[in-house]
Structure 1
Amino acid sequence: MKANYLDVGGTRSFVLEEGHGQPVLCLHTAGQSGVQWRDVQSELAALGYRVIVPDLPGHGRSEPAPAGPVRDLAVYAAWCEELIDRLELERPFVVGCSIGGAITLQLAVRRGDRLAGAVAMAAHGGTDAGAQKLTVRGLERELVDSAAPSRSDRTYFGTLAVVGSRVPADRAELIARMHRREDPEISNSDLIGWVTHDVRSQLPTVACPVHLVVGADDLWLDPADVRVAADLVPGARYTLLDGIGHYPMEELGDAFAPTLHGWLTGLGDRTEARA
């Protein structure tokens, strides 16, 4: 395992690498960090991948973005492109969840011809009925402490609410407590990016294999919207996870790495078939 601080996009950025072989870039959710992949990275590396887990600017151990908290997910996508070039990753897979899934789809749109494939979880490239409950005005208001005196509690209970029904109680509790450590300014800025981004009109142009994944218990998304997005991407696959919510890589525990390996193998087979 190798941990580095790299200058990416003008930000001193923390990047964890483990393993050798086909590169896989793993992207975290809003307000979180690469710690979300702690139970996946070693198992995935053991399956023959070079696993790259960054903390996006302003998250985890990365320093803030030069212009402050990011409100446009395209900025994160450009940062990821620079990271891919900086590490000289040749035809990597990209896997992300929530805003990480949205960034994954943006990368597929922007440089799909240079990716081996993309797995976007809990995202479909645009806003939906669940996300519309969040507004830029409301999220900005929550940045004022007096308007939201219990933000950490709301993060904790909100996370519990979107964890799937089949996740053991102790696992759900751990996920929620880990999420409680978020910086509200960063989280809300990420969510502003979430409710304002939309690349759905460009999904038919994606040039790499794509697999869209959504939990049946995800209160933030309507699985039907994810299915529609999958239909827009040429040849895309769609998976609905019963009893799973918004964070598959955390909720599935030890089962996630082999599951993701199967998804990536399927994408790789389709890449070879296209060649």
Structure 2
Amino acid sequence: MTDPRPHATGTAHYLEINGRLAFAETYGAGTPVLLVHSAGQSGAQWRDTVAGLAERGWQAVVVDLPGHGRSELPAAGPISDLDTYAQWCVTVIRALDLRRPRIVGCSIGGKIALDIAARLGDEASGLVAMAADAHNNGQNERALRRALPDAASPSRADRTYYGTLAACGGAVAPQRRALIAEMHRREDPCVSLNDLIGWSRHDLRPVLATITCPSRLVIGADDFWLTDSTADATAAAIPNCELTVLQGVGHYPMEEIPDFAAMLDGWLRDQQV
């Protein structure tokens, strides 16, 4: 065993929101960058990103959505409405007094990031929405609800593991791909399936034109969850938006790309106003 060395040092925040504890972490100082994770996951997805952002002069702010990671599950149970997550994130932004934040998210986190940017208007200073579009036609809510009972074979944990392997891009090394899948299989399947129900329902097309901050929509060329047409339409509907396609990358750029912080830093600096 090698000697341990510090990777990233941050500050933990427990906030009470709607009678439940909500968890967030901050790393570094400077313009805040809110980082929103994907379905069923937690802020741990950004573990390889936060140190690099802090070193480059940003304040990385990582949240665990309600019922994920160290944030308590709402009293009513798992959430299937991304609108609730977006408003919760805005509450965290207010509670931590994050001024002119950049908003970054992936998958449902990318869709939530689009929603947050629309809610904040001129208060947001930039947006990077990855693996997301305004209206998802690739998920069927009825089929997702049928998967909630734990009576299928293979197990839901195995489906998560092998599904995550398949969702990674072709450029990802096998060892890294296996690590990503191992992390993902930790998720609570009831929470993650409700997340996906929310993803299938949530339609942001009516509010895209209200996003006023510089924006970037990012998709992986190997991401089978999204189609080029819906990504193109989403980017075209946002007034100041660039579309980036990442070759060899699947659904989780921040986990798949080595030194993703450097890439994200470049995108964020392009949005300086």
The bucket for the TM-score relative to the shorter chain is over 0.9
**Change beyond 3 A, Cα 1:210–1:10:** farther
- Which residue matches 1:198? 203
Aligned partners of 1:219 and 1:189: how far apart in 2?
Answer: 20
Report if aligned partners of 2:212, 2:240 keep a CA contact under 8 Å in 1. no
Q: Distance in 2 between matches of 1:175 and 1:229?
A: 28
Query: What residue is the counterpart of 2:66 in the other structure?
Result: 57
TM-score by length of 2: 0.94
Give runs of ≥4 in structure 1 deviating > 4 Å: none
3-state SS of paired residue (1:146): coil
Residues 124-152 of structure 1 deviation map (CA, whole Å, 9 limit, x = unaligned): 11113xx2xx3222211211112455111
Q: Does 1:94 align with 2:103?
A: yes
Aligned length: 264
Tell me the residue number matched to 1:223: 228
CA distance in 1, matches of 2:210, 2:11: 36
2:114 corresponds to which letter in structure 1?
Answer: L
Please say if 1:154 is aligned against 2:159.
yes
C-alpha contact 2:134 2:230 (8 A) present in aligned 1: no
- Cα gap change, 1:227/1:75 in structure 2, threshold over 3 Å: closer, same or farther? same
* Cα distance, 1:170 vs structure 2: 0.5
Which deviations, in whole Å up to 9, do the C-alpha atoms of 1:90-130 show, x marking residues without a partner? 000010000000000011111121100110000011113xx
1:214 corresponding residue in structure 2: 219
For residues 82 and 10 of structure 1, the distance between their equivalents in structure 2, rounded to whole angstroms, comes to 13
| Alignment partner of 1:13 is 2:22 | yes
Residue 243 of structure 2 corresponds to 238
Judged with a 3 Å threshold, the aligned counterparts in structure 2 of structure 1 residues 175 and 123 are, in CA distance, closer, same or farther, namely: same
CA distance in structure 1 between the aligned counterparts of 2:65 and 2:18, rounded to whole angstroms: 10
Contact 1:106–1:125 (Cα < 8 Å) also in 2 = no
Q: Does 1:71 align with 2:80?
A: yes
Alpha-carbon distance between aligned partners in 2 of 1:238 and 1:10, rounded to the nearest angstrom? 39
Q: Calculate percent identity across the aligned residue pairs.
A: 52
Check whether the contact 2:29–2:59 (CA below 8 A) recurs between aligned residues: yes
In structure 1, the gaps of 5 or more residues are: none
* Contact kept in structure 1, 2:67 and 2:74, CA below 8 Å: yes
The equivalent position to 1:137 in structure 2, one of 137, 142, 160, is 142
Distance (Å, rounded) in 2 between the aligned partners of 1:228 and 1:166: 27
- Residue matched to 1:104: 113
**Does the Cα contact within 8 Å between 1:142 and 1:148 map onto a contact in 2?**
no
Q: Give distance in 1, aligned partners of 2:211 and 2:65.
A: 24
> Which structure 2 segments of 5+ residues have no match?
1-9
2:83, 2:115 within 8 Å by CA — same for their partners in 1?
yes
SS of 1:35 mapped into structure 2: helix
Equivalent residue in structure 2 for 1:126, among 135, 148, 154: 135
Distance, in Å, in 2 between the alignment partners of 1:205 and 1:227 is: 17
Distance 1:165 1:7 in 2: 41
SS at match of 2:105: strand
Q: CA deviation at 1:69?
A: 0.5
- Alpha-carbon offset, residue 218 of structure 1: 0.2
Structure 1 distance, partners of 2:212, 2:242, is 14
Which amino acid counterpart does residue 226 of structure 1 have in structure 2? A
String of CA shifts for 1:67-92, please: whole Å, max 9, x gaps: 21000000000000000000011000
Give the residue type in structure 1 aligned to 2:253. P
Residues in 1 aligned to 2:92 and 2:52: alpha-carbon distance in whole angstroms: 23
Q: Deviations over 1:6-58 (max 9, x none)?
A: 11343201111110001000000000000000000011111001111010000
Please state if 1:170 is matched with 2:175. Answer: yes
Query: Alignment RMSD, CA only?
Result: 1.1
Alpha-carbon distance between aligned partners in 1 of 2:165 and 2:18, rounded to the nearest angstrom: 34
- Of Structure 1 and Structure 2, the greater helix share is in 1
Segment drifting more, 8-17 vs 102-111: 8-17
- 1:177-209 CA-to-partner distances (Å, cap 9, x unmatched) read 110111000000000000000111221221111
Q: Is the 8 A contact 1:175 1:250 kept in 2?
A: yes
Distance in 2 separating the partners of 1:229 and 1:206: 11
Distance 2:18 2:223 in 1: 32
CA distance in 2, matches of 1:166, 1:90: 37
Please tell me whether the aligned partners of residues 119 and 212 of structure 1 are also in contact (alpha carbons under 8 angstroms).
Answer: yes
Q: How high is the TM-score relative to the length of structure 1?
A: 0.93
Contact kept in structure 1, 2:30 and 2:59, CA below 8 Å: yes
